Structure 1
Amino acid sequence: MNFLEKIKETAKSQKKKIVLPEALERRTLDAAHVILKEEIADIVLVGNKEDILKAGEGLDLAKAEFIDPATYDEKEDFVSTFCEMRKKKGMTMEKAAEIMLDPVFFGCMLVKKEKADGMVAGAVHATADILRPALQIIKTAPGTKVVSTFFVMQVPGCDYGNNGTFVFADCALNIDPNAEELANIAVSSANSYKQLVGGEPTVGMLSFSTKGSASHEKVDKVVEATKIAKELAPELKLDGELQLDAAIVEKVGKQKAPGSDVAGNANVLVFPDINAGNIGYKLVQRLAKAEAYGPATQGLAKPVNDLSRGCSAEDIVGTVAITAVQAQLQK
């Protein structure tokens, strides 16, 4: 059973309700059809029911819940709640009422009010347009300082990591995290690995240097982040700074970082910035023909996950399954 099959089965074991606010997008509706048919999750489609059904002609969406922000019974409560949340930013009831007509903001409020357990969007919205309402409405989880993203990478025919399965972070959100932020990303990524992949995370803090082989301020950042992460989570197997080969190849790890219990065995790879992370996951995806599941968000009080605008319906199904499992674990 591969990673996605395992996640789907876990999602089915305790179904959660997931909001899909981009309900006029055909890929979203194709995904909803599959999710409902396979009973992976319950689905809320945001918008006018007639318009959604027209956009989804030929699909079975009968088991979906349809909620129109313009006619929703509790819309006044949503508006007043959002206005109160943002009053220090100058929010008015009139402006809040306008914003609550936006399906993404409305979807986040459904999650905030526990009318749903999570949300998936991004097929037709930029990442910022998904995460901004999530941060404004759902906010960060208690004790979390940094919201970040990760990919679960499954590399066929690979003996490294957990039989070719890794968590890569952060590849999509934090452009140039400082040492403290990078440390928090590492700890969150280890937790995501435990929750979704299973087993013990082994975290490699990546750099172009291994244990002082190069001297630069960018290396210093990773060294400091490693120190902070060990203080935050002393129970974790975590080490750095490590070059990629030293992190995942046992022979190289023993040579370059003797005595490290991480070198050569890492299954969670924390990149020093988004340049390295984004390029790295796409190289592995395209050249090694890896499956890349994500970007999934970690650090929010309730799960909201972003999609690539180039995603397929199958990608949306997978992301909904991941979101449902995250919601199970947060409960």
Structure 2
Amino acid sequence: MKLQGIIALIMLAVAVFGQIVSWVPPHAQLVGAYVYNATHFAYYKEGKAVYIAQEGLTFNGTKSEAQAVLQFLYSQCKYVAVEVKNVTLTGRGELWPSEVYCSQDGSSWLWLRLLPLRFAAYKGAVDFVNASITVYTPIGVFTGYVPAGWYLDRGTNTVFRLPGFNASLITEIHKLQTVIAQLTAQLQAASANNSQLSALLTQLSAKARELESQRKALEEAVRHRESVISALSAQLQAARAEADALRKQLEEARRENEVLKAKLSQLNATYADKISQLQLQLNQLSQMKLQAQEEGGPNLLPILFIALIAIVGALVYIRKKRAEE
């Protein structure tokens, strides 16, 4: 609840319990009387009728006005208290001119002398007093200019009479009560705010612990990820090193292949040259054979054939040795 709401509730309580209400004199006597007519009450005392009349009050209204007055008195006068001024014997019993007070539930009292303020059919003097207070009566609320009579200050539980009492004291007391009520409201609001802050702090602490757990879990996940990355990086470096070694071996093989190609080309050229020479020699030998046959000389063909086989074998041997190198 907000501070303004708390202050409003406490001020309302102060307003209710700090009211000044019309009251009955401390020395008044409570009697079991009932409404008899617009001006009199009646009850029986030791078998005799007693009639009580408000002193200084008369009624000059119509029958309908009397009915309205009676309805009002019936509702207000469940309890009756009197301050007897005199006792007069009559042929019908006793007459008590008195100050009469009525109450509906005992929370406030109506002094019948104030009835002219409610009903114009009543005649009687009503005195007023200047007082810086507000009073609550069954016939209305008065502020500053209030009817004379007895009152109860509920805030201090003080019964006093106006005039004759310094009403400014009640006013000052009420001001102090208002200040106390405001301070009390502020204190309660501060306590409520403190409770709310404590609850909020507890919630935030729990949330902080939860976030701390999440942070630790994320850090562990990051560390695991970094270890995996490190392992993969090492594998990648090893693969790169192996690839570099294979690349170097490939380059070396290419260079050796180029050398071999060059050697093979050279051998091919050499072999072609040798074959050409052999072919030339063979041709020459063939010519020599023909000449010998024509001249009737010995047959040199077997000798030439053996020589040719020996040359070819020598070439094959040389080529094999070159290939092994």
Query: What is the TM-score with the length of structure 1 in the denominator?
Result: 0.24
Which entry has the higher C-alpha Rg, 1 or 2?
2
Q: Does 1 or 2 have the higher relative contact order (CA < 8 Å, sep 6+)? A: 1
Query: What is the TM-score with the length of structure 2 in the denominator?
Result: 0.24
